[in-house]
Amino acid sequence: MSGIRINPSVLSADFVNMQADLDRIAAADFVHVDVMDNHFVPNLTFGPQMVQRIQETSPVPLDVHLMIDDPERWAPGYAELGAASVTFHLEASSEPVALARRLRAIGARAGVAVKPGTPAESLYDVLDEFDQILVMTVEPGFGGQSFMPETMPKLAALAAEARRHGSAVWLQVDGGISASTIAQAAEAGADTFVAGSAVFGADDPDLAIAALRAGAASAHAHAH
C-alpha cells in the first residue's frame, strides 16, 4: 500500500476568503475541488475561472472532481489549467479510456469516479488506464452528507482487483469522511481521502489532517 493522502474539499471552505482557507491546509496532500454543473448533479459550484484562481493560490496541488455532463468536452481544459489530477464520472463519460489517456497526455493524473449505485466491475479490465478511482461514499452533489458504509464492499473489491493486477491506481473515497469513518474506508482499501467539514470546520486544520492521516495509517496497519 502506498502512502496515505488527505485531500480537503473546498466545498467546505469559505468561498469569500478562499485564499486564507487554502493557506490553512498547507499540510494536506492535495486540495479537492468539486466542479458541479447543475445537470449531472443537482447543484452548481464553479467553473474554470475559479479553479484557475485556486490553482494560482493553493499551497498544494489540485485534485479536481468533475461532477458534470460531457466530460470529454470539458475535462481536458482543467488539465490544461495545471490541475495535478482530474477525475470525471464514469456515468457521464462516453469514452472513459480515451479521455483518461488524453488527460495523461496533457500531464495530469487521470481519475474516474463512480456513484454509490454504480458497480465497479466495469473498471476491472481497465484499472491501469486510470491513476485514481474515486468511490463516492455519498450521492454526489452536496457536502456534509453522512458516510454510506454500504459502499465499502465495492471499494474492497476494487482494492482486491488492483492488488491482483499489480496496479498502482490510487483508491479515493469522498463523502462523510471524518475521524470516525476514515478507519472503515482505509480498512476496505482506500489510500486517498477527501474530507470537507472534518478539516475546514476544525479549529486547527493541520491537526485535523494529522489526525485523519493517523487514523488511516492505523487502519492500514491492522488490515495488512
Catalytic residues: 34, 174
Locate all alpha helices (DSSP H) within the chain, ordered by sequence.
18-23, 48-57, 71-80, 96-106, 152-165, 182-187, 197-200, 205-223
Could you give the 3-state DSSP secondary structure of residue 17? Answer: helix
- How far apart CA 146 and CA 91 sit, in angstroms, is 22
Exposure string over 153-192, b if 16+ CB within 10 A, otherwise e? ebbbbbbebbeeeebebbbbbbbbbbeebbbbbbbbbbbb
Per-residue burial over 77-95, b if 16 or more Cβ lie within 10 Å, else e, is ebbebebbbbbbbbbbbee
A 10 A CB-CB count for 39 gives 12
* Rounded Cα distance, 91 and 22, in Å: 30
Q: How far is CA 3 from the centre of its chain?
A: 15
